[in-house]
Amino acid sequence: MINVEIVRNYNKWCEHKQINKSLIKKITQNVLLRFDNFSKIKQFELSILLTNTAEILTLNKQFRNLEKATNVLSFPSNELNWQDLYSKLEFLGDSDYMHLGDIAFCYEVIYNESCEQQKTFENHFIHLLIHSILHLIGFDHQNDTEANIMENLEIEILSYFGISSPY
């Protein structure tokens, strides 16, 4: 079971009714089911903040020491490594509960990017959600190898939802 808490701090998000707990749960489940190591966990929790430029600027400055707005920020609750996800190691311990982390999305940046890239807002949001969940479970793109692995997973998951590759 996946529990999702959504906080909408910006009214424009209300225009996108498709972006809701059901969608976020479905996508999160699709990502997690790809890794056997998550199968013993019975309950996951994920917190989502749907906000605006002002708040994402504050978060970026506070947590990343950056003075710019970004489309999304991911805050993992666990220090996972993507390579462990492919092994049969019991790296998650004995717990049947896991708080995945927090994700903050910036409406204006996502809206502008979706217009520039000629994508629907919802499809771009779904891509960023998948990308962020992968960050929460230990994936990163600090080098070309890691970026390729992460991008290929994103493409595979997006394809499942009928969304073409953003790359």
Binding residues for Zn(2+): 131, 135, 141
Among 161, 163, 160, 135, residue whose Cα is nearest residue 46: 135
Measured distance CA(84)–CA(90) in Å, rounded: 9
Measured distance CA(138)–CA(127) in Å, rounded: 17
Among 91, 63, 94, residue whose Cα is nearest residue 78: 91
Measured distance CA(85)–CA(93) in Å, rounded: 13
Contact 4, 76 (CB under 8 A): no
Annotated binding site: 131, 135, 141
Measure Cα distances from 38 to 32, 46, 57, 86, 98 in Å. 6, 15, 33, 11, 9
Measured distance CA(47)–CA(95) in Å, rounded: 19
